[in-house]
């Protein structure tokens, strides 16, 4: 990850490289959650995150899509965990926070 590049930036670039177009970006009315919807034909992905968070959630329309997206994100160095159609993405910010927590103990 280059300096100044966030995990969300990398997710956006990877999805664009896979052919997904970001169609809708906004915030949820309940709570501090933001979201982005990406589409490629009939396939859609929803990316969710909270302000200041270090973990992102991507929901896909099928498990096969989740696996393919996970592989592409992992190739960039992001840590991803797939559970069915959901991908949890942990970026460098998350790793740094975990390391700081371990050192503080």
Alpha carbon distance 40, 18 (integer Å): 9
Domain ranges of the chain: 7-54+70-104
pLDDT tens-digit profile of 21-53? 998 787 766 667 888 999 999 999 999 988 767
For residues 69-79, give the mean pLDDT.
Answer: 93
Helix axes 7-17, 92-104, angle to 10 degrees: 150
Would you place residue 1 in the very low, low, confident or very high pLDDT band (cuts 50, 70, 90)? very low
- Provide, rounded to the nearest whole percent, the portion of the chain with pLDDT above 70: 84
Contact 91, 80 (CB under 8 A): no
Neighbours of 19 (CB within 10 A): 11
For residues 5-32, give the mean pLDDT.
Answer: 85
For residues 1-21, give the mean pLDDT.
Answer: 83
How many helices (H) and strands (E) the chain has is answered by 3, 6
Whether the model clears a pTM of 0.75, i.e. scores above it, the answer is yes
């Amino acid at each position: 990850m280059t300096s100044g590049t966030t995990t969300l930036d990398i997710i956006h670039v990877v999805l664009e490289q896979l052919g997904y177009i970001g169609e809708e970006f906004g915030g949820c009315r309940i709570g501090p959650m933001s979201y982005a919807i990406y589409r490629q034909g009939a396939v859609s992905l929803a990316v969710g995150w909270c302000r200041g968070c270090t973990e992102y959630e991507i929901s896909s329309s099928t498990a096969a899509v989740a696996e393919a997206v996970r592989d592409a994100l992992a190739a960039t160095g992001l840590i991803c965990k797939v559970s069915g159609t959901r991908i949890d993405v942990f970026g460098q910010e998350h790793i740094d926070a975990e390391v700081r927590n371990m050192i503080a103990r």
